Amino acid sequence: MKKTEGDNSTKILVAFYSRDGHTKRASEIIANTLNADIDEIKDKKSRKGIIGFLIAGYDATRGKTTDINFSKNPAHYSLVILGGPVWNGRVTPAVRTYLLKNRDSIKKAAFFVTCAGREGKCLSQMREIYNGEILAEKVILRNKIEEGVKQLLKKLESIIKSDGKN
């Protein structure tokens, strides 16, 4: 569904942050299914190991931001699908920072989070930070990635089809 010259379809970016690979897996399935561009958000702060895990949860709880790298400009897309894990029931510092840096250039968004079962405040925090038009949201359980992605795609596909006609 990438936009090509003379085509009215929606140009889509799937941007994501993933510590353990669950969100990356979901993002790759979404991007491949929608023929979307994909952009991994990289946290410059190490989140590896048990200490990294504990600091990550603390930083998320405190609403901290972090230094990140990403390569694609979300302003060049009509829809940005943003995903990240849930840390201690909250949005990760990398996703928080991405939204704060790009919220004014994201035209329309869809959000998804991956978790073991407790989403907490993560999606509501993402909505609050972005404060723009959100087409869909989905909590994806990490032991049911394919099923959760399928449900998100079902929500998005009819919206994308109708949006491409405008």
In a domain, 91, yes or no: yes
In-domain check, residue 7: no
Flag whether 17 is in a domain.
yes
> What's the rounded Cα separation, in Å, for the pair 62 and 22?
23
Q: What is the pLDDT of residue 8?
A: 42
Whether residue 57 is contained in a domain is answered as: yes
CATH code of residue 98: 3.40.50.360
| Domain housing 74 | 12-164
Query: What confidence category does residue 53 fall into, taking pLDDT thresholds of 50, 70 and 90?
Result: confident
2 in any annotated domain: no
The answer to whether residue 89 sits within a structural domain is: yes
Query: pTM of the full predicted structure?
Result: 0.89
Let me know how long the chain is: 166
The pair of structure tokens assigned to 111 is 């959000």
Kindly state whether residue 83 falls inside one of the protein's structural domains: yes
Structurally, the chain folds into a number of domains equal to 1
Coil/strand/helix, residue 161: helix
The one-letter amino acid code at 56 reads: A
Instruction: Please check whether residue 6 lies inside any domain of the structure.
Output: no
pLDDT tens profile 83-94: 999 998 999 999
Residue pLDDT, tens place only, 93-134? 999 999 999 999 999 999 999 999 887 899 999 999 999 999
Sign of CA dihedral 83, 88, 94, 98: positive
